[in-house]
Structure 1
Amino acid sequence: MLTFFAAIAILLVGYFTYSRFIEKNFQIEPDRKTPAEALRDNYDFVPMSKGKNAIIELLNIAGTGPIFGPIMGALYGPVAYIWIVVGAIFAGAVHDYMIGMISLRNNGAQLPELASKYLGKPVKHIVNIFAMLLLILVGTVFVTSPANLITSITPDWVTVGAVTGLIFLYYLISTLLPIDKAMGKVYPWFGAVLIISTIAIGVSLIFSGYSLPELTANSLQNFHPKGLAIFPGLFFTVSCGAISGFHATQAPMVSRTIKNEKEGRFTFYGMMIAEAVIAMIWAAAAMSLFNGQTLGQMIDAGTASLVVNEVSYMLLGSFFGSIAIMGVIVLPISSGLSAFRSLRIIVSDYLHIKQDTLKKILAVTIPLYAISFLLTQLDFNALWRYFNWANQVTAVISLLVSTRYLYLKNRNYIVTLVPATFMLYAVVIYILSEPIGFHMGLTTMTYLVGLGLSLAILALFFVSGKKQKEALNPHSELINDHLAIDISN
């Protein structure tokens, strides 16, 4: 139990200390006009309160990631705690803050536009592909997982297919509404359910009499029942609770509704820390209530949703357990909605389809939902593996964008370069070793080839960055943040 409390305390200390350093390094301008005011259209650009922005950001980035991921990460044992804490403070929260604030400085531009501006126009097409792939996978995963959870607490005649159809219908209706109506009105209620249910699980776990695993010299090892390697496996299994590229597609959406740059630290950095706390609670619950073998069998039998059900009922009983499951359900539903909304914006920007009429909005939205519905027929675990890799590749791109931004402005770019380098090596090793990639296995050769490829990518990154910096003049918008990116097409 000491490890659990220490981890939560370190996360909070990280927010109150390291986030201030990151904010100072970014150099906020509280008097600067934000996109919400300068580009207000009462649809995507709408000034909203700090509290609403924060809860929208939390629900947007959370999904089932900080629950399903840590549950599956619990198979590795207490070592998962380390990644959640260190990853969230020094990687995930920095990633979310930087992309959110860089987007805010660029009129709420999405990641592909930011990559084009800071990494070069050819990169924009690559990032667009990854962003669209990631979001369609996220939307699909976050339809499938809540559908399974809902059918687990409803009568047998309620089928997964019927629930899936209803979720898609909700998404379609919400996508057509202005953000302050689609999210601003509903998400505070969703957030209340999430917070109450999470606290209930955490408190019940502490006072339930179960033994929470401690991180000791003896427990600092790999307990995965299938013997899967910690690196890179753990860093893809636990993503949303530590660092997730999906967040880079969501922060720009919220950057369009923030009224003051001072709100960024709480909204972007703070909500990532909140997500890490959720991840810690579910990881601890999974490790405390089940041994590795049982946990692995449950995940194989019904994805992590079966574990969610068992944990909720065991700790809270039938009635309150069902309420807790509802708290979990609102996460993927809210994140799925925001994923499709972001996907619509990215696709419309890329294809230059102005979203100013219902007909144009539907022309982009309906085909996306049709593709996602077809993907729901695939195996969930297979989708999750592809989602994980695309997710972390997007995180690497986001961190490289952030590093280039800081480098061009002569600020401390090490804060983003270190996590970018680590995650770059992880995604290269993952695609080389896994069946979804080159299937080389985790051999010495794989690690050496991965190291060589990672260093080559970083070398190209720094060479291009040096050339870009040398070509700048003192009045360049890359330095002064004065360029208004055209996002109206």
Structure 2
Amino acid sequence: MLWFLTCVAALIGGYFIYGAFIEKVFGINEHRTTPAHTKNDGVDYVPMSTKKVYLVQLLNIAGVGPIFGPIMGALYGPAAMLWIVIGCIFAGAVHDYFSGMLSIRNGGASVPTITGRYLGNGAKHFMNVFAIVLLLLVGVVFVSAPAGMITNLINDKTDFTMTMSVMVAIIFGYYIIATIVPVDKIIGRFYPLFGALLIFMSVGLITAVGLSSEHTVLGGYEVSDMFTNLNPNDMPIWPALFITIACGAISGFHATQSPLMARCMQNEKNGRFVFYGAMIGEGVIALIWCALALSFFGTMDELAAAVASGGPGNVVYSASFGLLGLFGGVLAFLGVVILPITSGDTAFRSSRLILAEYFNLEQKTLRNRLLMALPLFVIGGILTQVDFGIIWRYFGFANQSTAVMMLWTASAYLLRHNKLHWITTVPAMFMTTVCVTFILNNSTLGFGLPMNFSTIAGILFTLGVTTLVIKTSKGKGEDELPGEKQDVPNTATQKV
């Protein structure tokens, strides 16, 4: 229990210490009017209270990522918890903060537009394609995962396929509605309650472990195991662990979600709480599920068997009902089911807005929103027929590659303004090396090259990108966006 609490304390400390440092380097301007007021359209740009924005942001970025990823990462042993803590403080929360704050500074722009502004049009076109692909994969994952979990809960063995199809149709129907209605009607109204449920569920489960006489946090693992790879399938930690655990440490999906709340945030001074803080909250949730996976199953072989028999969803089911009984288990399990649903709809919403920016099509009218959204749902529906395991593997790589692009975008911004760019450049270099090494070495998704060669190639590629970004961005400054002023007095009264 001590190591788990130490990890949680480290995350909280990271928010107050390193988060404050990141905020200082960025340089907030609390007197600058945010897009929630300058572009208020009653649909996507809607001022909301800080508490609501935080809870919605937490749900938007969470999904099943901070649950499924850490469960899969737990197969490597307690070493996974170290990556969650270090990655969250120095990479993930920094990534989320800049993706949100740069959106605010750019009129609520989506990640491709931001990337294009600081890295050039080539990067913008690449990110437009990559972000849409990622969001479609996320949307499909976050349809299939909750549909499968609900079907398992119903336990309809007579016609599993039919029940699964019905669940997929129901969830897709909800997604269509939530994607096109104003953000404050469903997302802003109900998601804060779901966010509170998520926190309550996670704390309840880890408390049950702490009070249990049968289970202990981290099970029988020793402190020395923190630095040991215990994977029963002999899977190497490098670079697979850093792809497997994404949403609990760093996730490019968050860069697509932060602009949604950047369009609703009323003051720049709330950015650290909303963006950096939500990622720290997700890190705590990831730690809880990593610890649950290690503690509930006595040995690594038992955990591996549970994953093999029903995926990470089976681990969620077993732990929820095993620790909290029938009533508590149902609440906890439904809390996990809600997570992907509340991220899936915002994934499609983000896709709609990215396409609208690309085609320069206003989204105030329902007709235009449907014009952008319906083709996305058709493609998403087709992709649900693809095996979930295949979709998840591609999602993991696309996810971390998007994070790489966002971190380099933040570095370019800091370089342009002669600020301390290493706070984003170092994690960008690390994650670039991870992604390149992974795609070169992995035989399923990539080229199946030897690990040593792949790692060296990844390092050399990263050094080349670092040199290019520094050379092309340092001290260039930036022009004002058309119709935007850098300092507009914030006279709006903020809700609390």
Q: Structure 1 CA distance, aligned partners of 2:59 and 2:275? A: 12
Q: Structure 2 CA distance, aligned partners of 1:218 and 1:282? A: 18
Amino acid in structure 2 at the alignment position of 1:231: W
Q: Tell me whether 1:409 sits opposite 2:413 in the alignment.
A: no
Q: Tell me whether 1:247 sits opposite 2:254 in the alignment.
A: yes
Match in the other structure for 2:490: none
Task: Provide Cα deviations, 1:438-477, integer angstroms capped at 9, x if missing partner.
Answer: 33244222222222222222222222224xx45x5xx833
RMSD between superposed Cα atoms in Å: 1.6
Contact kept? 2:43, 2:364, Cα under 8 Å: no
Contact kept? 2:404, 2:428, Cα under 8 Å: yes
Match in the other structure for 2:308: 300
Count of residue correspondences: 477
Cα distance, 1:359–1:477 mapped onto 2, change above 3 Å: closer
Task: Provide Cα deviations, 1:336-390, integer angstroms capped at 9, x if missing partner.
Answer: 0110000011112213333232222112211111111111111111111100100
Q: Structure 1 CA distance, aligned partners of 2:269 and 2:457? A: 43
* 1:318-337 pair list within 5 angstroms: 318-337=326-345
Contact kept? 2:66, 2:248, Cα under 8 Å: yes
CA apart distance, 1:151 = 1.3
Q: Structure 2 CA distance, aligned partners of 1:351 and 1:435? A: 37
CA apart distance, 1:281 = 0.5
| 1:53 partner SS | helix
Q: Structure 1 CA distance, aligned partners of 2:321 and 2:144? A: 21
Cα distance, 1:175–1:476 mapped onto 2, change above 3 Å: closer
Q: Structure 1 CA distance, aligned partners of 2:418 and 2:451? A: 39
Q: Return the match for 2:457 from 449, 460, 469.
A: 449
Q: Structure 2 CA distance, aligned partners of 1:363 and 1:35? A: 24
| 1:180 partner SS | coil
* 1:43-192 pair list within 5 angstroms: 43-154=43-154, 156=156, 159-192=163-196
| 1:159 partner SS | helix
Match in the other structure for 2:492: none
Match in the other structure for 1:267: 274
CA apart distance, 1:215 = 5.5
| Bigger shift: residues 114-123 or 66-75 | 114-123
Amino acid in structure 2 at the alignment position of 1:347: L
Task: Provide Cα deviations, 1:224-257, integer angstroms capped at 9, x if missing partner.
Answer: 1111110111101111000000000000110000
Match in the other structure for 2:294: 287
Q: Structure 2 CA distance, aligned partners of 1:265 and 1:443? A: 38
| Bigger shift: residues 161-170 or 295-304 | 295-304
Q: Structure 2 CA distance, aligned partners of 1:218 and 1:152? A: 34
Task: Provide Cα deviations, 1:293-349, integer angstroms capped at 9, x if missing partner.
Answer: 222222233221111000101110122101100111111000001100000111122
Q: Tell me whether 1:197 sits opposite 2:201 in the alignment.
A: yes
Task: Provide Cα deviations, 1:112-131, integer angstroms capped at 9, x if missing partner.
Answer: 00111100111110011110
Match in the other structure for 1:477: 480
Match in the other structure for 2:265: 258
Match in the other structure for 1:399: 407
Contact kept? 1:303, 1:381, Cα under 8 Å: no
Match in the other structure for 1:377: 385
Match in the other structure for 1:20: 20
Q: Structure 2 CA distance, aligned partners of 1:204 and 1:34? A: 43
| 2:80 partner SS | helix
| 1:212 partner SS | coil
Q: Return the match for 2:359 from 351, 354, 360.
A: 351
Match in the other structure for 1:313: 321
| 1:281 partner SS | helix
Contact kept? 1:386, 1:436, Cα under 8 Å: no
CA apart distance, 1:482 = 3.7
CA apart distance, 1:75 = 0.1
Cα distance, 1:309–1:132 mapped onto 2, change above 3 Å: same
Structure 1: tracts of 5 or more residues without a match: 485-489
Contact kept? 2:55, 2:195, Cα under 8 Å: yes
Match in the other structure for 1:211: 216
- State percent identity of aligned pairs: 45
Q: Structure 1 CA distance, aligned partners of 2:204 and 2:417? A: 45
Match in the other structure for 2:242: 235
Cα distance, 1:442–1:307 mapped onto 2, change above 3 Å: farther
| 2:250 partner SS | coil
Q: Structure 1 CA distance, aligned partners of 2:41 and 2:378? A: 28
Amino acid in structure 2 at the alignment position of 1:279: A
Q: Structure 2 CA distance, aligned partners of 1:218 and 1:198? A: 24
Contact kept? 1:35, 1:107, Cα under 8 Å: yes
Q: Structure 1 CA distance, aligned partners of 2:72 and 2:446? A: 24
| 1:181 partner SS | coil
| 1:411 partner SS | coil
Match in the other structure for 1:487: none
Amino acid in structure 2 at the alignment position of 1:153: L
Amino acid in structure 2 at the alignment position of 1:53: V
Q: Structure 1 CA distance, aligned partners of 2:217 and 2:165? A: 38
Cα distance, 1:253–1:452 mapped onto 2, change above 3 Å: same
Contact kept? 1:91, 1:242, Cα under 8 Å: yes
| 2:185 partner SS | helix
Structure 2: tracts of 5 or more residues without a match: 488-496
Amino acid in structure 1 at the alignment position of 2:129: I
Amino acid in structure 2 at the alignment position of 1:332: P
Q: Structure 2 CA distance, aligned partners of 1:352 and 1:106? A: 15
| Bigger shift: residues 370-379 or 205-214 | 205-214
When normalised by structure 1's length, the TM-score is 0.94
Q: Structure 1 CA distance, aligned partners of 2:80 and 2:164? A: 32
CA apart distance, 1:206 = 1.1
Q: Structure 1 CA distance, aligned partners of 2:222 and 2:441? A: 29
Match in the other structure for 1:225: 232
Contact kept? 1:440, 1:446, Cα under 8 Å: no
| Bigger shift: residues 313-322 or 358-367 | 358-367
